[in-house]
Structures are given as C-alpha cells and as structure tokens.
A and B are shown apart, each in its own frame.
Chain A
Amino acid sequence: MAQTYIGASIKRREDIRFITGRGTYADDIKLPGMLHAAILRSARAHARIRSIDTTRAGAIPGVVWIFTLGDIGEMAVPVPMRMYKIAGLERYLQPLLAQNEVRYVGEPIAVAIAESRYLAEDALDAIEVEYEDLPEILDVTAALRDDVLVHERTGTNLAAVHEIHVGDAAAAFEKADYTRREMFRVHRHTGNPLETRGLVADFDAGKRQLTVYGMTKLLHYNRQVIAAFLKLPEHNLHFIENDIGGGFGIRGELYPEDFLIPFASVRLGRPVKWIEDRREHLMAANHSREVSCELEIAARRDGTLLALRAKIYGNMGAYVRTHGGLVPCSTAALLPGPYRIPNYECKIHCVVTNKTGMGTYRAPGRYESCFFRERLLDMVAADLDLDPVELRRKNLIQPEEIPYEIGITRPGTNPTVLDSANFPSALNRALQEFDYSRIAACQGRLENGRYHGIGVAYFVKNTGGLEPYEGAKVVLGDGPSVAVYLSINVLGQGHETAMAQICADGLGVPLEWISVFHGNTDLVPFGWGTFASRGTVMCGNAVHLAAQRLRQKLLLIVGEQLSLDPAQLELHDGNIHQKGSRDPVLDLKNVLAHVRETVRVNPGEPALEETAYFNSNQLTHSYGVHLAHVAVDPETGVVEILRYMVVEDVGRCINPLLVHGQAVGAAIQGIGGTLFEELVYGENGQLLSTTFRDYVLPSSTDVPPIESVVLEEAPSPLNPLGVKGAGEGGIVGTGAVLANAVSHALSSLGVKVTELPLSPDRLRALIRNHTARRA
C-alpha cells in the first residue's frame, strides 16, 4: 500500500489556535474562586534561617494564606530522583521548602496565596526572614576540597562517582606514539522556554479529585509521585497539559512548586494558580551544561585513535534533582562519538555547590561531550599534521561494523550500541553540501580586518528508549472521524500533526478525519513522556501499531458482515476495497452504525477502538555533522557566523517540515548558548543573570540562516517505523563546531579554545593572554 502521509510536509493543524491567539497556556486558565501564589525565595546562597515572620504579610487584605515547610508537616517529602540514581546522590535531595538552611539563591522558603498575583507579591515583600550567612562555594575545584560543605551532614561535596571501563586504556596509553591531554569547560546555561513554568491546581473537595493544568513532560510519573504525596489515589489526579510554551528539557521535571501548589489547593479547597516570572525562572528552574572535563587521547602517529581517558566534573548545584547524575553521566555516555576508539576510561564526578540545581537541557551532556571530543580532535590533527576532516574520516566506524557496541558507557549493564548508521556517507554529504574543499581555503585568512575560520564537528545522539514504553488509543467515531489518544504530551514539536500522519497511514483513512489528543493522564492509563527525542519513536510507533490493529479489526468485521475473506480486503483513504478493485465495497459509515449497534467480533466489545503500547528499552541513534564558517574581529572579539549547516540522519522522516524546523530551532538555540548565554554567579553566590538584559538570548539579527540537510540513509532497526528522534541533533554540535571554527580563525594569534562561551570578552582575553605570553 502506498504511504500517502508519512514523509509529507503537512502543515500543522494545531497552528490555528496559536495564530489566532486562542491557545490555552497555564496562565490563560481561569477558574471561579481561583487564588494566586507567589514563592518567597532565598536571597542568600548559603545561610541558616533563624526565623521567618509572616505576621505582617498575613495581615495584608487579600492575602489568604502563607505557609512554610512546617505547615506541610509529616507529609513533606524531598523532591525524588527519577533516574541516574548513582549511589550517594540520594543524600542531596531538595526539600519542598527550606526550613533551617538555604543553599542557593532562589531556593523556595515560603508560599504566599492571595486574591491576585500583585497582592501575593506584596505579601512576599512583607515576609521577614532572618538569615545567618554561611560561606558559600561555587566552583567545582574549590568544592572538591571539602573545606566548605554545602550539606554539612554528608561530610563531602563529592556527591557521587561513577566509572566507565571499556577495553584497557592504561595499556593503550602506555604503548601509544602520541598522547595529548587538555582541560575543557562548558559554561552554565539553560533553555529558557519563552513561557515560564506555571500550574493551576484545582482540588474538588467534594469528589476528592485534583486537576492540575500545566504539568508536562512526564505526566504519569509526576502524577504517581504527587498522588503519593497527597495521599490520594493515583486516578483521582488528572494532569492536563493544554498548551505549553516550549520545554527543552527544563519544564516538566518535578520541582518543589509541583508539590506546593497542589498542596495549597487541597488545603484551601480552591483553585490555586502559580505563574513563575522570568527572574524566578532564571534562578529556580533547572540550570544545565556546567560540565568540565580533563580529556586525554592516545593515538598512533598516523592518526589512528587508540584510547580516551576522561575525568568529568558536573556542577550539580546545591541539590540533586529528578535527573540524578544524568548530565555528567550523559556527557560520558557518547564521548567516543562515531569513532572507533577501542579503549575508553572515564571517571564521572557529581559535585554539589551553592548554585541552582542542574537538570536536562536539550541534548544534555551530548553538547558538552561533543565539544570536548571534537575540540581535542582538531588539536590532535594539528599536532600530527593531518587534515582535521581526514583525521575524522579515518576513524569513523564503518557501515559494515554496524551495529557497533561501544561498551557499557552508562550506569547499569546495557551496553551502548550504535544501531544503524552510515557515518562516512553523512560526512561526505556534509562536505559536499557545504562546498567544504573550496571554502576551507579561507582557513585563518585575514580579510577586511576579520579572521575567517571553518569548523567541523561530528555528533551522535541517542533517541527513544530510556523509559520502556508509550501507548496510544485509536477510536473510530461518527463522521467518520478518528480520535488518537496519546500517552505523551506535546511541547510545541508538532506531534498533533505527525501522529495524525502516522495514524492516517496506519489505519488507511484521510488525514482530515483525525483528531489527536494528548497531554492528559486520563487518555491512556500508562505512559512516560516527551523527552530525549523519544516522542515520535515511542508514541509514534504505538500509534502506528494501534492504527494497524484497528484496521485489521475493521476488515475482519466487514468480512464477516459481507461474507468476504478479510485477507482479500483493504482499507485505504477511508474506503474498504476488495484487493485489486477500485470500487469501495462498503462505506465505513455503515460499518460503524452496524458495529455500534450489534457488537460484533468479540462478544461485548464494540470493536471500534484499539490500544497499543510500543515497547523498547533500546536507544536508537541519530547522527550527523555540523559545519560553520565564521569571521572574527580580533579587536572586539565579536564573532559573525557567515554560514552554518546541520546535516542529520533521522532514519526516517515523518514530516520533513517539522524535522527541519527542529534542526533549525535547535541550531539557533545552540548558537545562542555558545556565543551569548551564560548564567553568571558573582560574589556571595548571587546569581547575576536574573533578567534578559543579563542573560542574552539570540534574536533574529544575531544568527545566520541555518542550512539544514536531513538524511534518511540509516533507518532504525529498533522500531517498525524506522524512525529516530529529531529534536536534539541540531544542538549537539553547535559548541564544538563554533569553537573549532573560531580556533582555526584565530590560530595565527595562537588562540585555542578550551572553554565556552565564545563571548567577545572571552575571546579578547584569549587573544590578550597569548599576546602577553609571547611578549
């Protein structure tokens, strides 16, 4: 049967409500009797709380309640770790509200509930907190000395360690002709979705049902945890996403507010809304990327890579959050990249400091490891007098070696296996599309006062898996119409359209018949969520399975009804045909009416629906190449990107429009993070980046057009659709490629980048230091 919708660039149906201003984001929800919450947050990086006086605040007319941890009493639990629970991390979980001690600027201390947000903030102003300052520690190196402890009772700031051993790195290093060691650092930054976090919790005391709007990412898991906390049955909680203004990994993980706001609603018996403001978001929502790495490489003189040895340090912040050790561990997981490096040893250190907690941000750990590895490869190429592209090409894993087992590079016992790839082909395609051989002639050239540089970076990214399943329910209704219910939620990626395409092809009906429902724990009882680019891989396959099964069921029913062999029937475009004939045998409307009334196929089952779960705990890997051509003004340190290209193999493309959209959006985010953004802490542990004037996001005039090339050369063998996730590949290589390009541009000035961001100030410092060293 010819596929008609999968692979087509269908315009998004969800757009209508967004372009007419009729989306429903958390702050758009208004319920009768709704109250507004504001959170009092710590103004100190590390201090004991001697007292909290809410008397004046509580007396303000319109302020309904102010509560602290004491009011939660025995119900209080710490925010749990969900994954990467490396032994030791469990000692550093975050309490819902600080009681005796605060450990980062922004830590929640109290919640004020009032008739309006304005009044709630007035209440915050009137709450008096007496702090007794304690010394703070911000930097990983200093923290490792353990002379200032973030959590005194643990006795150490080294929260956990994890080791990876593949092959025999020690031996390889000993025998190697050539080795090199460097220290690399990626800076703290984060995703900043344009909509800040927000929740509306609505407890119906009569029915003992709680509805929470604005929850996302992991609805079922989050519901389980909050239900346990509130001592309510799981199914009495309804988590509904509605529309979400971006997530990028930051939104949807459990934070203290996800407990506090439902708690307030239950206690007060009224709806409570909490909308985070931007200042809060910058200091309280997950930070990411602050990972440093001492990386050593061993090779032969001809450039054959032999071994990698790494010490990775993740600055976890003051508390370990839901992700556990994910960020530093994910940095280690794919550090070897697409290259054949038989020996790999890594020691991962999770270190706490008095900063905001660290969590996932689009391609967590992979942006970092790509930067570390690809920078080092360029250095190796220079040392060994090899062309940087040829060095990479020489070491790429070949198609005949696929599937390629890298080794056990993640906690647990599952080896990391590159399931499907043609690495050389993607490289060739990238070089060709970019016209690399011609442009590389600019390398290091000074033109009109600016130095030019071309950079290359190869990336691999795991997608799918992580949690073992997702589900979908497909239901036929009057019209005819089809409802697709997803176990996942949507943060703007276009799943409403992509899933409809998959269902249309799987079931054999026109796209217009299909409505997609998502982001509601009541739709499909079991599910995990949208993260790690697993939405299409996991839920898309579930949709396809359910649709195909429903199709079979319908053919069975019609066959029985008309005394025809179902094996000789087909359903496509919403019509049932005999094979080989164009004439519809039966209108689906008749089938529906018939089945609804008579209950065929299986006794008691109206048979107009089918639920399927797609199961896979294996990761499938997308991969590709980033290329960039930059011009750097050596006097001001300003970088202009003249050309930027992302080449990515996604296995199979459901909707090219959406996939390109992800690649371009991700690349711009990565460029912004690499050139402009940084979460800066000052003296006394104050977060200095608390507004968009300090935390600089890229705008339209700061970024180049992104050339995006999508390949489908290596479909995934791990799922029936052959798809890989496409949400993150565009960001993974951005730090690496720009650092390589800038290093090439400024090589005559002796600049070699080992740290990000590539801000004007830092580049000037690199140039200045080198000039000083030479003088």
Chain B
Amino acid sequence: MKPAPFEYFAPEKIDDAVELLARYGEDGKILAGGQSLMPLMNLRLARPQVVIDINRVTALDYIAQGADGVLAIGALTRQRSLEHSAVVKDHNPVLAATMPLIGHFQIRNRGTIGGSLVHADPAAELPAVSLALGAEFVVKSERGERVISAEKFFLGSMTTVIEPTELLTEIRFPRWRPGSGWAVEEVARRRGDFAMVGAVVWLQLDGTGLCEETRVALFGVEDRPVRIVRGEQILLGNRPEADIFAEVAEVVAEQLDPVSDVHASREYRKEVGACLTRRALQTASGKVGKGVDP
C-alpha cells in the first residue's frame, strides 16, 4: 500500500503555509501529524496532488493560558504534549483526561490537536470535547483570519467548514470553571480505538446545588459529534440525581439518529449512547466541587 505521487512542500512559517494553500489548496492537503492522513494516502483513498507539510511550522506548536483564563493551543501541538502538559492538567481536566484515550502513545507522539479536529472523524474524541467545552477555532487564509465556534465547525463525516485554502492555526478553550464536574466515557472495541459510542459531559452547580450550566455531547454515534440540547435543558435548574439522568438518557435515545457499521448497529448506538450519558452524568456529578484532580 504505497501512496500515489504528489508534489511536496514543507514551509517553516505560517504565512508561507497560507500562501501555498492559496496556490495549491484545491488540489492539496495539509499534512500535520499524519496519523489520519497517511493511512488514507497509503490506501490511496486520499490522493492529494500536493502535500503541504506543516510539521516545520513550529510557531503553531504552543500551549498558552491567557490572563482571561482562555487556553490557547496551537494547531500543531502534539497530542502527547497536551497529555503531559501541567497547564492543561490544571486548566482543562476534560482535555487532559481525554488524551490517553486517543490511540496509543506512538500515535500521540505525532498526532496533533489541529489535525484531529480538521480530520473530523465522527468517532474521534477531540471534536466532541471541543464541542462540549465550547471551543473556538482560529482559521487563517490569504484573505485573513476568522474565528469559528465548535458548534458550527463540524459539518459531517470527515467534513468541516474549513475551505481548502484555509489553515487551522489555533484552538481556544474557554476558561475552566473550578468546581465543575465532568466525565468522558466511551465504549471502543479495544483501548485506544475510535469509539463505537462516547459521551462527554460537564456541569456546573450553583450555590444551592442546582445545575446552572451544562453540556452533553456524544461522539461515535452520528456523522459528527452531537450536542444533546434537550437533555441539557432537563438538567438545568435541577439537582443532578439519578432520575434526572435517566430522563436525559431517554432524550439521548430518542434524539440520536445513529449510523450502523461493522462494529455496532443503530440500536446499539442509541441504547449505549443513553447508557453512557447516564453513567457520565453520574460520574460528573460526583466530581463537582472537587477541584481539577479528583
């Protein structure tokens, strides 16, 4: 399984990358970590005429926490860097907990956060986490920069709003609310595999113990990560308890319109989506008020 021929560029600066995209974007692909793109190229399922390798654009590799608490991560940041980052651990426990679920350490040595998000595999963890946490994506082209919310970013299986001539440069996670409860649950065929079904939840309680903010997102179930807004609404204003979780789970089962594939049927994804949501909410409520390292 050898790739089809292509022209190759390895820019070192962001602007050079952007310029190459302007010129070749329609026929080309960005090569970041390669853990998703290279298999497709080896299988000849992807045959870009031009490959723009951004691994030397070191300016895109950073983890920075702003004064406003926003966590800004360069698109080329390796998944392993995120996994081992003290900043991420302290300021975004959901992201920190998700990293070890992604593939294996050899994959995380090369795989990047930007690559995973743009590749938009429906069963991948990072797109769902970005959706659940309300992340924003900074995208650059020769025409300038735009900021896109995670809500609007994922269009379908392996498809995002990014144009062929655009480059994802930064991912911004909002300030983490201390005392939030959260959980990431998934069922995969094997540890490290893409999920058959996964759920990411977080919730924040007010002074009286009622849920004042929450997000429930599922992955692996449809052609992109989905937010269960109706489920979130059920949680809001209520105590996080088993009967509420059961109601939310029912909504999940109703709302989901899952795919069937070799690993799991539609029914499986509905049922287990509901089940994982329930379990995740249980786990999340147990973490509320306990700080970032429960």
What's the minimum C-beta distance from B197 to chain A, rounded to whole angstroms?
A: 8
**A760 close to B264 (CB less than 8 A):** yes
Query: When chains A and B are docked, how far (Å) is the Cα of A636 from the Cα of B187?
Result: 8
Instruction: Say yes or no for B113: interface residue by CB 8 A criterion.
Output: no
Query: When chains A and B are docked, how far (Å) is the Cα of A635 from the Cα of B272?
Result: 7
Instruction: Say yes or no for A768: interface residue by CB 8 A criterion.
Output: yes
Instruction: Say yes or no for B67: interface residue by CB 8 A criterion.
Output: no
Choose among A278, A761, A768 the residue with the greatest number of B CB atoms under 10 Å from its CB: A761
**B267 close to A765 (CB less than 8 A):** yes
Q: Which of A510-518, A692-700, A748-756 contacts B (4 or more CB under 8 A)?
A: A692-700
Would A691 and B275 be within 8 Å (CB), given that A118-B2, A122-B4, A760-B268 are in contact? no
**B43 close to A765 (CB less than 8 A):** no
**B265 close to A765 (CB less than 8 A):** yes
- Dominant secondary structure at the A interface: loop
Would A125 and B44 be within 8 Å (CB), given that A279-B1, A760-B187 are in contact? yes
Q: Which residue of A lies closest to B264 (CB)?
A: A761
Instruction: Say yes or no for A394: interface residue by CB 8 A criterion.
Output: no
| Cross-chain contact of A117 among B2, B4, B191, B275 (Cβ < 8 A) | B2
Instruction: Say yes or no for B263: interface residue by CB 8 A criterion.
Output: yes
Query: When chains A and B are docked, how far (Å) is the Cα of A79 from the Cα of B39?
Result: 33
Would A701 and B191 be within 8 Å (CB), given that A635-B272, A678-B262 are in contact? yes
Instruction: Say yes or no for B134: interface residue by CB 8 A criterion.
Output: no
**A764 close to B43 (CB less than 8 A):** no
Q: Which residue of B lies closest to A634 (CB)?
A: B275
Query: When chains A and B are docked, how far (Å) is the Cα of A691 from the Cα of B36?
Result: 13
What's the minimum C-beta distance from A632 to chain B, rounded to whole angstroms?
A: 13
A637 partner residues in chain B, CB cutoff 8 A: 268, 272
Instruction: Say yes or no for A121: interface residue by CB 8 A criterion.
Output: yes
What's the minimum C-beta distance from B189 to chain A, rounded to whole angstroms?
A: 5
Considering the complex, which residues of chain B in the window 164-192 have a beta carbon less than 8 Å from any beta carbon of chain A?
187, 189-192
A701 partner residues in chain B, CB cutoff 8 A: 190-191
B189 partner residues in chain A, CB cutoff 8 A: 676, 696, 759-760
| Cross-chain contact of A768 among B1, B4, B267 (Cβ < 8 A) | B267
Query: When chains A and B are docked, how far (Å) is the Cα of A121 from the Cα of B2?
Result: 7
B272 partner residues in chain A, CB cutoff 8 A: 635-637, 760, 764
Query: When chains A and B are docked, how far (Å) is the Cα of A699 from the Cα of B189?
Result: 11
Instruction: Say yes or no for A161: interface residue by CB 8 A criterion.
Output: no
A680 partner residues in chain B, CB cutoff 8 A: 262
Instruction: Say yes or no for B288: interface residue by CB 8 A criterion.
Output: no
What's the minimum C-beta distance from B266 to chain A, rounded to whole angstroms?
A: 10
**A764 close to B44 (CB less than 8 A):** no
Q: Which residue of B lies closest to A124 (CB)?
A: B44
Instruction: Say yes or no for B271: interface residue by CB 8 A criterion.
Output: yes
| Cross-chain contact of A699 among B190, B194, B263 (Cβ < 8 A) | B190
Query: When chains A and B are docked, how far (Å) is the Cα of A122 from the Cα of B191?
Result: 36
**A691 close to B43 (CB less than 8 A):** yes
- Count of B interface residues, CB-CB < 8 Å: 27
Instruction: Say yes or no for B82: interface residue by CB 8 A criterion.
Output: no
**A761 close to B191 (CB less than 8 A):** no
What's the minimum C-beta distance from B194 to chain A, rounded to whole angstroms?
A: 7
B191 partner residues in chain A, CB cutoff 8 A: 699, 701-702
Query: When chains A and B are docked, how far (Å) is the Cα of A691 from the Cα of B1?
Result: 11
Considering the complex, which residues of chain A in the window 672-689 have a beta carbon less than 8 Å from any beta carbon of chain B?
676, 678, 680, 688-689
Instruction: Say yes or no for B193: interface residue by CB 8 A criterion.
Output: yes
Would A764 and B271 be within 8 Å (CB), given that A691-B43, A699-B191 are in contact? yes
Instruction: Say yes or no for A601: interface residue by CB 8 A criterion.
Output: no
Question: Using an 8 Å CB-CB cutoff, how does the interface string of B191-214 with A read, 1 for contact, 0 for none?
Answer: 111101000000000000000000
Query: When chains A and B are docked, how far (Å) is the Cα of A279 from the Cα of B2?
Result: 12
Interface size class of A (residues with CB under 8 A): 20 to 34
Question: Using an 8 Å CB-CB cutoff, how does the interface string of B115-158 with A read, 1 for contact, 0 for none?
Answer: 00000000000000000000000000000000000000000000
A759 partner residues in chain B, CB cutoff 8 A: 189, 263
B275 partner residues in chain A, CB cutoff 8 A: 635-636
A278 partner residues in chain B, CB cutoff 8 A: 1
Instruction: Say yes or no for A386: interface residue by CB 8 A criterion.
Output: no
A117 partner residues in chain B, CB cutoff 8 A: 2
Instruction: Say yes or no for B5: interface residue by CB 8 A criterion.
Output: yes
Query: When chains A and B are docked, how far (Å) is the Cα of A635 from the Cα of B44?
Result: 38
**A764 close to B262 (CB less than 8 A):** no
Would A125 and B190 be within 8 Å (CB), given that A635-B275, A694-B262 are in contact? no
Considering the complex, which residues of chain B in the window 67-91 have a beta carbon less than 8 Å from any beta carbon of chain A?
none
Question: Using an 8 Å CB-CB cutoff, how does the interface string of B259-294 with A read, 1 for contact, 0 for none?
Answer: 001111101100110011000000000000000000
A694 partner residues in chain B, CB cutoff 8 A: 262-263
Q: Which residue of A lies closest to B5 (CB)?
A: A122
Instruction: Say yes or no for A638: interface residue by CB 8 A criterion.
Output: yes
B265 partner residues in chain A, CB cutoff 8 A: 761, 765
What's the minimum C-beta distance from A145 to chain B, rounded to whole angstroms?
A: 26
B193 partner residues in chain A, CB cutoff 8 A: 693, 696
What's the minimum C-beta distance from A509 to chain B, rounded to whole angstroms?
A: 46
Would A638 and B187 be within 8 Å (CB), given that A760-B196, A761-B263 are in contact? yes
What's the minimum C-beta distance from A768 to chain B, rounded to whole angstroms?
A: 7
B263 partner residues in chain A, CB cutoff 8 A: 694, 696, 759, 761
A118 partner residues in chain B, CB cutoff 8 A: 2-3
Considering the complex, which residues of chain A in the window 30-71 have a beta carbon less than 8 Å from any beta carbon of chain B?
none
Instruction: Say yes or no for A390: interface residue by CB 8 A criterion.
Output: no
Instruction: Say yes or no for A14: interface residue by CB 8 A criterion.
Output: no
Query: When chains A and B are docked, how far (Å) is the Cα of A689 from the Cα of B272?
Result: 23
A122 partner residues in chain B, CB cutoff 8 A: 4-5
Considering the complex, which residues of chain B in the window 1-19 have a beta carbon less than 8 Å from any beta carbon of chain A?
1-5
B2 partner residues in chain A, CB cutoff 8 A: 117-118, 121
Instruction: Say yes or no for A277: interface residue by CB 8 A criterion.
Output: yes
B3 partner residues in chain A, CB cutoff 8 A: 118
**B43 close to A676 (CB less than 8 A):** no
B187 partner residues in chain A, CB cutoff 8 A: 636, 638, 760
Q: Which residue of B lies closest to A679 (CB)?
A: B262
Query: When chains A and B are docked, how far (Å) is the Cα of A417 from the Cα of B283?
Result: 59
Q: Which residue of B lies closest to A694 (CB)?
A: B262
Considering the complex, which residues of chain A in the window 82-132 have a beta carbon less than 8 Å from any beta carbon of chain B?
117-118, 121-122, 125
Query: When chains A and B are docked, how far (Å) is the Cα of A701 from the Cα of B101?
Result: 13
Would A676 and B1 be within 8 Å (CB), given that A635-B275, A760-B264, A761-B264 are in contact? no
**A698 close to B190 (CB less than 8 A):** yes
A279 partner residues in chain B, CB cutoff 8 A: 1, 43
**A688 close to B262 (CB less than 8 A):** yes
Q: Which residue of A lies closest to B191 (CB)?
A: A701
Considering the complex, which residues of chain A in the window 630-644 have a beta carbon less than 8 Å from any beta carbon of chain B?
635-638
Question: Using an 8 Å CB-CB cutoff, how does the interface string of A310-332 with B read, 1 for contact, 0 for none?
Answer: 00000000000000000000000
Query: When chains A and B are docked, how far (Å) is the Cα of A49 from the Cα of B43?
Result: 24
Q: Which residue of A lies closest to B278 (CB)?
A: A635
Q: Which residue of A lies closest to B274 (CB)?
A: A635
27 contacts between A and B (CB under 8 A): A118-B2, A118-B3, A121-B1, A121-B4, A121-B44, A122-B5, A279-B43, A635-B272, A636-B276, A676-B189, A688-B262, A691-B39, A691-B43, A694-B262, A694-B263, A696-B189, A696-B193, A696-B263, A701-B191, A702-B191, A760-B187, A760-B196, A761-B264, A764-B268, A765-B265, A765-B267, A768-B271
What are the 7 A-B residue pairs with the smallest beta carbon separation, nearest first? Answer: A277-B1, A118-B2, A635-B275, A701-B191, A696-B189, A680-B262, A761-B264
Task: Give the B-binding residues of A (Cβ under 8 A).
Answer: 117-118, 121-122, 125, 277-279, 635-638, 676, 678, 680, 688-689, 691, 693-694, 696, 698-699, 701-702, 759-761, 764-765, 768
Task: Give the A-binding residues of B (Cβ under 8 A).
Answer: 1-5, 39, 43-44, 187, 189-194, 196, 261-265, 267-268, 271-272, 275-276
Known: A636-B187, A760-B272. 12 other contacts (CB 8 A): A117-B2, A122-B5, A125-B44, A277-B1, A635-B271, A636-B276, A676-B189, A676-B190, A689-B262, A694-B262, A694-B263, A696-B190
